[in-house]
Chains A and B, each alone.
Chain A
Amino acid sequence: DTEVTQTPKHLVMGMTNKKSLKCEQHMGHRAMYWYKQKAKKPPELMFVYSYEKLSINESVPSRFSPECPNSSLLNLHLHALQPEDSALYLCASSHGLAGEQYFGPGTRLTVT
């Protein structure tokens, strides 16, 4: 089973709201990723977790806060977002850092 699940599928939030995106995988993968994708652009890496430790933060603004509670779960906490943060947020996981990444269906975020 190569499934990565993400909730919610859609999210509309105001600039003063706090919300969280959730990602889950049960493939035993030890690397998990958050990507941001704007329309008609490729995904851009935001964060990498390896063995539940943050390994990469691609200079992401602090209004995005990742969390990896355990090896199966990855959260992205959102606070005080800007309208330009509206995008598709994709979670992915892989067995190792050189392996193929399996992506979830994404969360379409709209910031009003």
Chain B
Amino acid sequence: AQKVTQAQTEISVVEKEDVTLDCVYETRDTTYYLFWYKQPPSGELVFLIRRNSFDEQNEISGRYSWNFQKSTSSFNFTITASQVVDSAVYFCALSVPGSWGKLQFGAGTQVVVTP
């Protein structure tokens, strides 16, 4: 069975501060896929990144960066120089082959950015 843990329920920061969201996953599969999604108050889940288990390269996209460490089963997400528009719930998710695409979501982390 797969499990994703996002231990931080809510993080509040002031604009321009950096914020790091933790994601720890559990799976026995050697092949798996990790995702991050953003859900603003409007409700739509926005895809941010997909990583497969064989690609441990960290990634940077603008103010977003991701740190994938298989040794600690973690896939953390950092927002640099946060902005008010970053206020949202962020979900980390995991899927494995043979599960028909089923995403195992973490509980989500609410990020609140104040001006």
Contacts and interface: CB of A to CB of B under 8 A. Distances in A.
B52 to A, nearest CB: 8
Given A31-B101, A50-B100, A56-B100, A98 B33 contact: yes
A71 to B, nearest CB: 15
B50 A99 contact: yes
B45 A43 contact: yes
Interface string B91-113: 10001010111110111100000
Contact of A102 (B47, B91, B108): B47
Contacts of A103: 37, 44-47
A66 to B, nearest CB: 14
A11 B35 CA distance: 30
Contacts, number: 62
A22 to B, nearest CB: 16
A42 interface: yes
Interface string B65-97: 000000000000000000000000001000101
B61 interface: no
Given A40-B108, A90-B45, A101-B47, 4 more contacts: A42-B105, A98-B52, A103-B45, A105-B43
Interface of B: 33, 35, 37, 42-47, 50, 52, 91, 95, 97, 99-103, 105-108
